[in-house]
Structure formats: structure tokens, C-alpha cells
Amino acid sequence: MNIDTLKSLKTKLINISQALASKQSNEDEVFVYNDTNLDKVFENYENIRNEIKQILENEDFLIDRHKIAAFFISSILKNKPIIVKINNTDIDNNDIEFIININLAILFSNFIIRKFYKEINKKDLKIVMPISSSQKPYIDQLIGLIKIYKDKLDIGSDNIKILLLSISHILFLIEKYSEKGIK
């Protein structure tokens, strides 16, 4: 991925983060976009990409859009570009931050898939998030995997490698589902 693409991805992540933080804030919970953590998202993405390339022992190996999106999901959840400030001290903000950053990660992964899909196929793809009972397992599996591994998001662990491949495959299935235009 070239530097211009990374810059455009960073700009989009900033925009999504700010919009999501603004939309979710209320008098009890203030969600804030944290630019230091956002920089860490991109540093962590590069670390994950390099680690996977080393595992594959092939520097020329191209990582597809689903893996790129999965790497960013992991990196977003590890670095939490949206943080929360809660007025009620009885509430644990870690769970709330995790949930808002899951939303951010899914929105951003959809953007990545759509962006690279359009570059390759020269047409737009509307990502359809399966919400009906027959298609819901895709998103349930995605969120389930994220929740299982939320405390194991270090690239050095074997768990993260399994997580990234699993998330990548689910994102591929969501893309294929979306290509069919099923609503």
C-alpha cells in the first residue's frame, strides 16, 4: 500500500472516528477521538502486516483487502482511537470503549473493502450487513471472535493470527453476500 493510500485511509478513519464520537456522546458519556491512539493504529497495522509477511516468508506477497481490513480491526481495538469520559464513576468505561471501537472497526473495515473493491472492479459495492435471521451469523461470528480475543490482541500470540484469518474470511463472506445484492 502506498503512502497516498495510507494518508487517505487515515483521513477517513479520523472522519469516521469524529462522527461516531460526536453521535454517541450524551450528558453522561462523552466520546472523544484520540489522535495519539489513531497514530498507534497505523503503527500497529504496519507491525501486523510485517509480521504476517515474515510468517509467509515472502516479501512480494500481496495482502488482500479482507486481510487489510482484519489487520485494521485488530489495530483499532488494541489502540482505541475513541475513548470515553463517563460522569458516573460506577460504570466501567473499558466495556463502553470496547463497544464503540468495535463499531468504528466494522465501519472502517467496510470502507476499506469498498475502496479496494472499487479500485479493482471499477464499480461500487454496497456492503450489506446481514441482519436477518438467516444471514445474521456472519456479523454475530465477527463480533463473537472479536469479543473472545479482545484481551489477546498482541501480534506475537498465535491467537491473533487465528483471529485475523478468521475475521478476514468472515469479511470475505460479507463481501460475497453484498455482491449478490441480497437485502
The pLDDT tens digits of the residues spanning 25-36 come to 888 788 898 989
Question: Quick one: pLDDT band at residue 63, thresholds 50, 70, 90?
Answer: confident
Residues 131-144: pLDDT tens digits? 554 556 677 777 77
Q: What is the mean pLDDT of the segment spanning 7-12? A: 94
Check whether 99 has a pLDDT greater than 90: no
Mean pLDDT of 70-95: 83
- Residue that is written with C-alpha cell 516479501 in the block: 59
Q: Average pLDDT of 154-182?
A: 78
pTM over 0.95: no
How far does CA 35 lie from the centroid of its chain?
17
Q: Which residue has the higher pLDDT, 128 or 82?
A: 82
Q: Phi first, then psi: what are they for 57, rounded to 5°?
A: 55, 40
Cα 119 from chain centre: 20
Domain boundaries, the chain: 3-179
